[in-house]
């Protein structure tokens, strides 16, 4: 794999021949990641629950000349994931790069949150990573390697009022990712996390912020590309991503 610091001509094809699956890939950070990986030569499959948005993003991928697929799937449900992985591997190729990006935010004091809100957020932010990774890992082991990149958050490293259940999901994701990395590194599989601060997307966050003081989806996509294109003997386990100007 080529380094992201190499020339643009080399970097444009640095993921050539690899198949990537991006969950939550229809909009925001997921869309930016999918387009970035395609620009580096990867074949890209995206999944999500919004068929119209998936179609829009797949059209953008095809406009770039990428081999792509867009699959409607709920990654909190194991049965749908089985069908998703089968479809990707049949129509696009064996998954060598998995980006677990699907996520949501629910904020407010813990004592005001419902059990349904807890379950919905944990299923989306944490259980989905377990389920999709579990489905993809055996194939990576059989092929002798792969990359799993989990989109976490600085909320998985810090706490703030109103962030109780969201922070819990991201702290959990950090722990899951770290343990997976230790279990899989001797199999040639690298598991990494990207931990962005606030990003300018439709994501349900903590209120409006100065757009000049938050990250853009493309910033997160660049970090994913950096990890995906690292040399084979290296292992970037975590990237913490902050805007230059403090909000």
Domain boundaries, the chain: 8-241
Euclidean distance between CA atoms 220 and 110, whole angstroms: 29
Q: In the prediction, which pLDDT does 210 show?
A: 73
Residues annotated as catalytic are: 166
pLDDT < 50: residue spans in the chain: 1-11, 204
Euclidean distance between CA atoms 149 and 236, whole angstroms: 10
Q: In the prediction, which pLDDT does 213 show?
A: 80
Q: Over the range 107-121, which residues count as b (16 or more CB within 10 Å of their CB) and which as e?
A: beeeeebeeeebeeb
Sign of torsion, CA 53 56 59 63?
Answer: negative
- pLDDT tens, position by position, 140-185: 999 999 999 999 999 999 999 999 999 999 999 999 999 999 999 9
Kind of pairing between the strands at 189-196 and 43-48: unpaired
Hey, which CATH number is domain 8-241, 3.30.43.10, 3.30.70.1400, 1.10.10.1100, 3.40.50.720?
3.40.50.720
Euclidean distance between CA atoms 21 and 92, whole angstroms: 10
- Our separate counts of H helices and E strands in the chain read 8, 7
The answer to whether the pTM exceeds 0.85 is yes
């Amino acid at each position: 794999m080529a380094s992201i610091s190499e020339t643009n001509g080399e970097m444009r094809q640095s993921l050539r021949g690899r198949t990537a699956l991006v969950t939550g890939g229809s909009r925001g950070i997921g869309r930016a990641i999918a387009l970035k990986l395609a620009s580096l030569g990867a074949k890209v499959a995206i999944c999500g629950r919004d068929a119209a948005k998936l179609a829009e993003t797949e059209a953008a991928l095809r406009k770039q000349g990428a081999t792509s697929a867009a699959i409607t799937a709920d990654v909190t449900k194991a049965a749908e994931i089985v069908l998703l992985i089968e479809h990707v591997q049949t129509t696009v190729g064996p998954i060598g790069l998995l980006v677990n990006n699907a996520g949501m935010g629910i904020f407010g004091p813990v004592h005001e949150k419902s059990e349904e809100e807890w379950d919905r957020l944990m299923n989306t932010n944490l259980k989905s990573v377990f389920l999709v990774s579990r489905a993809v890992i055996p194939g990576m082991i059989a092929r002798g390697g792969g990359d799993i990149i989990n989109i976490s958050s600085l909320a998985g490293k810090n706490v703030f009022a109103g962030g109780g259940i969201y922070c819990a999901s991201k702290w959990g994701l950090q722990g899951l990712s770290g343990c997976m990395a230790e279990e899989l590194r001797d199999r040639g599989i690298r598991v990494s996390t990207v931990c962005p601060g606030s990003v300018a997307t439709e994501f349900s966050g903590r209120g409006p912020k100065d757009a000049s003081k938050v990250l853009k989806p493309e910033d997160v996509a660049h970090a994913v590309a950096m990890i995906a294109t690292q040399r084979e003997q290296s292992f970037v386990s975590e990237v913490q991503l902050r805007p230059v100007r403090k909000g």
